[in-house]
Structure 1
Amino acid sequence: MTRVCIVGKPEVDLRTELFAYETARRALATYDVRSPYENTVAVDTVSLGAAVSLLNDLNWYLVRLAEEAFVLEPSVADDEWLSRDLAAAVRDGDVRAPETDARLKVYGVEDGELVEPMYVTRVQGERPDYDLRDVEETVVVRVTEAEFEA
């Protein structure tokens, strides 16, 4: 299963706002919708292609309501997410899965909320520790070169 996680903008109650739109509600109707972190919506899809397609279908809403969208693809990594752009590049064959692990955006998780992302690169195959604050856990998102430099 490939998982999609959409992170709402701070001023938006993502779940409430997203489900207020009939088209978004219909697009998500066949999925078991969860919220693994505060102000997120997550669903499991059958493949990377289905995950990217769902995000494309929801694009109008994501632009208005979401801060980020991640895809967890087990064939790429079991515990590191792909940014939406990187997931699309892998799906399209523009980037090979082994080439996705160099640039990372690491979020801290504090009281169930994603906080303060830190951009890091792997050094000799190792990911630097998250050190922006003391957190319970981290969420690692692999990003494109353009997203890393932004």
Structure 2
Amino acid sequence: MVTFHNQIDIKASPEAVFDELSDLRHEQRWSDKLKSVELLTPEPIDVGSRLRAKWSGAPENEVVYREFDRPRRWVTESGSWMLVVEVLLEVEATSSGSRLLSTWTLKPRGPVRLLTPILKKAFNKDVAENMRSAKAHVEQLARH
């Protein structure tokens, strides 16, 4: 198991950040790595909501919302045969908008555990890049 953290400041209200970023279906608006996503439970997104998602280079995953506390935080857990990923995202108000903090916990399964150091480096890089893209997307929405 490995855990890492990222954070980024966003010039938008906590509500705007939460509303745009907490719904996994919106990720395709700023990331081309999410290839498909489908809500498997009824609207609206809340604790217990489930989605099927497929990212580049990864097997299909089922994503479950474990916490959903607008506009403060949400927690998801996704899993496939190779990896379980728990993600905690928190939004804090700042003088210029919001700060998005993420905590990622990777739990490789089976022989994939041997690749843990490589997975951590790759995920950390991808998450940082995704957060920069999400920031640009939410700030553009906030300007309009």
TM-score class, shorter-chain normalisation, is 0.3 to 0.5
- Normalising by structure 2, report the TM-score: 0.32
- Normalising by structure 1, report the TM-score: 0.31
